[in-house]
């Protein structure tokens, strides 16, 4: 191991000064999700609004970061502009390894810079630079500028926000190294309110490895499982886009603001279609040989006489669902064109797509008009959606500013709450059934990756709420163990609890190795305590009527089963939050 | 003598497995820089990746300027490295025309020794060991790993 403590940099943007701290707590909080909760407890102000300058923006890695394949993610934690509660968002890119080689277990950004600024940190430097001239610049242009302004090409991570973050949109994400994102719950607005346009992390630290063959042999074993077995082939081959066809066949793919769950027009936007027609190449997060990032292209004729431009756009299942099927757009290149605008604006693609799907149905029903939407919104009209995404990202008028705070916020003013596809935040693309709806609506991150609720739905048609809730609680605990390491959750089939224990042991983390299940349970409880302390009441969560109206492979949603699940999971969450096994050091 | 080549870098996904394998197996480090092969994006990720590694010069300008024989000419191109002789002057890195030698904070040099251990870690077969074209017998014996 590098150390059995945490090495943290707290950067105060108000004073422009950083403080390096060594904190105890490794055996209680491990890293990643656990470390982020620990640091929010230390630096956060649960009773004050998200945009209070003192609120922390936390980036945390874990004890296995860089030491094993796919230990390549960073946990970002903050008080969210979306619901003013504690939030986590995860991303890869080079962020995790850049923090590792900057010799930081976490970066905690507090305060507010005097002018729009870019923060550069590493193991030998801290620099806060005025970048007022980047105000309003999109994510692509900002990335190009920052790459020229800072050294370290290839061995740095560049995080930045677009216009959406600058205007405080609750759907603003943080772009990480062009193709990855801390997308959900408004981390981009937290950077924006801190006057932080970019963060560049670059380090050149090197760490000695354990003597003997145990570590090397275990690395070989894990690497082999990741690359030579079929356990990861889904992600390597078509990528998550393979889910489109599969979920459509299961009547579980949201179409046109979840007015349908299956459509024959799927043939235009399947994983195969994207791969055959649009895929340029694959890419990977640093430290991951799987390479699940699929990069397609958009090509535009901008002038007569065959003058074209092209841009590269990464696609995945979720962005295709959000800007494709959910908006009724069924041409792969048109979908990529909408995603391209989303990327430039620095919006979270799932939130933005689902919000525009609500707006489109609201327009169909006459609740809003072009006075609000500026451009006429119709399902399938990709050029209109590209314009609307720009309006949403820039907060072009009062309507788009409100929509950027969430579809339900806009619906509260304009009507249409029944068909806002919001489960805690705008839904992910799984209309699989009652367990998933409850799992996302009440989940800590309101993410499809909080738990495997979508998978449970596909394997179980009995309506045993207690069994489903027990699954959600135990599955979350296993995932918390992984996100405290910090593993990519795509590797969850490889990193079993036993293998995690072996990895931790070979690096010398004896306590974490022997007791990670218990420790993960404690971290799970700690996260819920913080979430509830910042205002979350799982019993008050509402699941909009649209989710009761749809048909999946199991038939129509059962409202009684949904209610039992919701009440039971809310009680389980409250029960977890009442336990307090690990007070902060 | 075989040398490490990078003929298929257009396939590279930027996973850094090669560089980290070199650091792990040759230099016993967790690092993405203290390695004989380093990966850089060639002007943002949209333009793909470049491998920075020794081109196996013969004669090698880095060996020519080394004042202590820590770097010596390797038969077939490249250098044999004997770190016990290195005085961390950094002349080798200055002499390399393609910036293939990385100096850490102590000016400790890291250069490819053409051992090929990184090759198997590339998931897209970007790297290959190829004959250097100089098939003279190597009289210097086994190359010395740093």
Burial-class residue A511 by CB neighbours within 10 Å (0-12, 13-18, 19+).
Answer: middle
Closest-CA distance, A151 to chain B, in angstroms, reads 12
Going by their DSSP bridges, the two strands A106-110 and A6-12 should be labelled as parallel
A292-315 tens-digit pLDDT: 999 999 999 999 999 999 999 999
DSSP 8-state assignment for residue A276: I
- Judge whether A476 and A451 are in contact, CB under 8 Å: yes
User: Hey, what domains does chain B have and what are their CATH numbers?
Assistant: 2-130 (3.30.70.20)
Q: Which residues of A touch B31 (CB under 8 A)?
A: 101, 205-207
Q: Give pTM, 2 decimals.
A: 0.95
**Structure confidence at residue B23 (pLDDT):** 98
pLDDT of residue B137: 44
* Per-residue pLDDT, A577: 92
**CB-CB contact of A527 with A33 (8 Å):** yes
Q: Is A256 helix (H, G, I), strand (E, B) or coil?
A: coil
**Separation between Cα atoms, residue A272 and residue A512, nearest integer Å:** 42
Exposed/middle/buried for residue A132 (C-beta within 10 Å: 0-12, 13-18, 19+): exposed
Query: What is the DSSP track for A480-532?
Result: HHHHTTT--GGGTTT--HHHHHHHHHHTT-HHHHHHHHHHHHHHHHHHHHHHH
Question: What's chain A's average pLDDT?
Answer: 96
Least CB-CB distance to B14: which of A207, A216, A286?
A: A286
Burial of A179 (0-12, 13-18, 19+ CB in 10 A): buried
Is A525 strand, coil or helix?
A: helix
Best CATH choice for the domain A425-578 from the list 1.20.1250.20, 1.10.599.10, 2.60.40.10, 3.20.20.210: 1.10.599.10
Nearest to A192 by CA among A48, A404, A427, A21: A404
Report, as an integer, the average pLDDT of B54-82.
96
Query: Which residues in chain A touch residue B19, judged by CB atoms under 8 angstroms apart?
Result: none
- Which residues in chain A have Cβ-Cβ distances shorter than 8 Å to B17? 69, 223, 287, 289
Torsion of CA B10, B13, B18, B19, to 10 degrees: 100
CA distance B15 to chain A (A): 5
Q: How is residue A365 written in tokens?
A: 């029903």
Question: Which residues, at least 6 apart from A217, have a Cβ–Cβ distance to it below 8 Å?
Answer: none
Q: B33–A147: do the CB atoms touch at under 8 Å?
A: no
Q: Indicate whether A584 pLDDT > 60.
A: no
Average pLDDT over residues B85-112: 97
CB-CB under 8 Å, A286 with B32? yes
Beta-strand ranges (E) seen in A361-495 are 422-423, 425-426
CB within 8 Å: B17 and A178 = no
Residues of A in contact with B33 (CB under 8 A): 101, 155, 204, 206
CB-based contact A155 B24, cutoff 8 Å: no
| Residue from B26, B27, B30 to probe the interface with A (highest A Cβ count within 10 Å) | B30
CA distance A393 to A401: 9
Q: Which fold has domain A6-202?
A: Aldehyde Ferredoxin Oxidoreductase;  A, domain 1 (3.60.9)
Lookup: tokens for A518: 């218990």
Half-sphere exposure of A165 (CA within 13 A, CB side): 33
Candidates A353, A320, A345, A349; CA nearest to A335 is: A320
The size of the A-B interface in CB pairs under 8 A is 92
pLDDT at A128: 98
% of chain A residues with pLDDT over 70: 99
Predicted local distance difference test score (pLDDT) of residue A399: 98
Residues of chain A with CATH 3.60.9.10: 6-202
3-state SS, residue B45: helix
Chain B hits for A279, CB-CB cut-off 8 Å, are none
Contact yes or no for B16 and A283 at CB 8 A: no
CA distances from A310 to A317, A333, A340, B7, B137 (A): 22, 12, 11, 26, 51
Residue B145's pLDDT is 43
Judge: A206–B39 Cβ closer than 8 Å, yes or no.
no
Residue A18: the pLDDT is: 97
Q: Is the peptide bond before B59 cis (omega within 30 degrees of 0)?
A: yes
> Other C-beta atoms within 10 Å of A506: how many?
21
For A197-234, the pLDDT digits (tens) are: 999 999 999 999 999 999 999 999 999 999 987 777 77
**Domain A234-393 - what CATH class?**
mainly alpha
Q: Which residues of A touch B (CB under 8 A)?
A: 66-67, 69, 97, 100-101, 124, 143-144, 147, 153-155, 177-179, 204-209, 216, 219, 223, 227, 281-291, 293, 312
Residues of chain A with CATH 1.10.569.10: 234-393
Q: How far is B9 from chain A (nearest CA, A)?
A: 12
Look at B32 and A97 and tell me if their CB atoms are within 8 Å.
yes
The CATH 1.10.599.10 domain(s) of chain A lie at 425-578
Q: CA-to-CA distance for A427 and A440, rounded, in angstroms? A: 8
Please write the tens of the pLDDT for every residue from A228-262. Answer: 877 777 788 898 999 999 999 999 999 999 999 99
User: Omega before A486 cis (within 30°)?
Assistant: yes
Angle at A57 between CA A503 and CA A168, to 5 degrees: 135
Residue with tokens 């060594």, as numbered in its chain = A22
pLDDT greater than 60 at residue B135: no
Task: Tell me the pLDDT tens digit for each residue of A535-579.
Answer: 999 999 999 999 999 988 889 999 999 999 999 999 999 999 987
Quick check: A581 pLDDT over 90? Answer: no
Q: Residue A153 and residue B41: Cβ atoms within 8 Å?
A: yes
Residue of A nearest to B125 (CA): A289
């Amino acid at each position: 191991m590098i150390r059995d403590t945490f090495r943290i940099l707290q950067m105060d943007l108000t004073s422009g000064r950083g403080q390096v701290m060594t904190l105890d707590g490794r055996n209680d909080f491990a890293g990643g999700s656990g470390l982020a909760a620990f640091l929010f407890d230390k630096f956060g102000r649960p009773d004050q609004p998200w945009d209070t300058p003192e609120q922390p923006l936390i980036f945390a890695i874990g004890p296995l970061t860089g030491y094993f394949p796919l230990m390549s993610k960073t946990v970002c934690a903050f008080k969210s502009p979306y619901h003013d509660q504690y939030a986590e968002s995860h991303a890869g890119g080079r962020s995790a390894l850049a923090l590792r080689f900057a010799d930081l277990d976490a970066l905690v950004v507090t305060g507010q810079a005097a002018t729009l600024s870019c923060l550069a940190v590493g193991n030998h430097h801290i620099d806060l630079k005025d970048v007022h001239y980047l105000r309003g610049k999109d994510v692509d242009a900002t990335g190009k500028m920052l790459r020229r302004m800072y050294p370290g090409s290839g061995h740095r991570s560049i995080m930045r926000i677009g216009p959406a973050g600058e205007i405080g949109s609750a759907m603003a994400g943080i772009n990480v190294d062009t193709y990855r994102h801390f997308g959900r719950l408004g981390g981009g607005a937290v950077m924006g309110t801190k006057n932080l346009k970019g963060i560049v992390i670059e380090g050149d630290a090197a760490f000695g490895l354990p003597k003997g063959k145990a570590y090397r042999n275990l690395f070989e074993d894990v690497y082999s499982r990741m690359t030579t077995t079929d356990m990861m082939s889904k992600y390597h081959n078509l990528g998550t886009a393979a889910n489109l066809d599969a979920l459509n066949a299961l009547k579980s793919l949201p179409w046109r603001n979840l007015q349908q769950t299956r459509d024959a027009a799927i043939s235009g936007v399947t994983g195969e279609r994207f791969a055959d027609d649009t895929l340029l190449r694959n890419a990977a997060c640093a430290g991951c040989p799987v390479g699940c990032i699929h990069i397609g292209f958009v090509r535009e004729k901008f002038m007569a006489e065959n003058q074209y431009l092209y841009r590269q756009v990464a696609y995945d299942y979720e962005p295709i669902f959000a800007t494709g099927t959910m908006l009724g757009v069924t041409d792969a290149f048109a979908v990529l064109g909408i995603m391209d605008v989303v990327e430039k604006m620095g919006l979270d693609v799932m939130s933005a797509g689902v919000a525009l799907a609500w707006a489109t149905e609201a327009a169909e029903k006459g609740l809003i008009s072009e006075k609000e939407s500026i451009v006429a919104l119709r399902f399938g009209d990709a050029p209109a959606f590209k314009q609307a995404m720009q309006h949403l990202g820039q907060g072009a008028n009062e309507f788009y500013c409100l929509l950027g705070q969430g579809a339900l916020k806009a619906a509260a003013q304009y009507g249409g709450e029944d068909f806002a596809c919001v489960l805690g935040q705008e839904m992910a693309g799984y209309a699989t059934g009652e367990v998933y709806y409850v799992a996302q609506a009440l989940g800590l991150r309101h993410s499809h990756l909080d738990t495997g609720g979508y998978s449970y739905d596909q394997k179980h048609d009995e309506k045993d709420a207690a069994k489903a809730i027990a699954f959600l609680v135990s599955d979350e605990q296993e995932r918390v163990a992984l996100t405290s390491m910090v593993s990519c959750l795509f590797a969850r089939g490889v990193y079993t609890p036993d293998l995690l224990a072996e990895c931790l042991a070979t690096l010398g983390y004896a306590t974490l190795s022997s007791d990670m299940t218990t420790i993960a349970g404690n971290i799970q409880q700690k996260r819920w305590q913080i979430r509830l302390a910042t205002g979350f009441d799982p019993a008050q969560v509402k699941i909009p009527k649209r989710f009761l109206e749809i048909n999946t492979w199991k038939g129509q949603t059962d409202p009684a089963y949904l209610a039992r699940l919701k009440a039971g999971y809310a009680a389980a969450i409250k029960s977890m939050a009442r336990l307090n096994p690990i007070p902060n050091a | 003598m075989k040398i490490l080549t990078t003929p298929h870098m257009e396939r590279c996904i930027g996973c850094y497995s090669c560089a980290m394998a070199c650091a792990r197996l040759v230099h016993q480090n967790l690092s993405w820089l203290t390695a004989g092969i380093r990966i850089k994006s060639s002007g943002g990720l949209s333009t793909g990746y470049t491998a920075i590694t020794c081109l196996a010069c013969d004669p090698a300008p880095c060996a020519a300027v080394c004042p202590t024989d820590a770097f010596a000419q390797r038969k077939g191109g490249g250098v044999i490295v004997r770190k016990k002789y290195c005085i961390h002057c950094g002349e080798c890195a200055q002499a390399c025309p393609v910036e293939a030698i990385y100096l850490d904070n102590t000016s400790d040099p890291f250069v490819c020794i053409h051992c090929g251990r990184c090759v198997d870690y590339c998931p897209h077969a970007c790297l290959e060991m190829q004959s250097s074209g100089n098939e003279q017998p190597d009289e210097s014996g086994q190359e010395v790993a740093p």
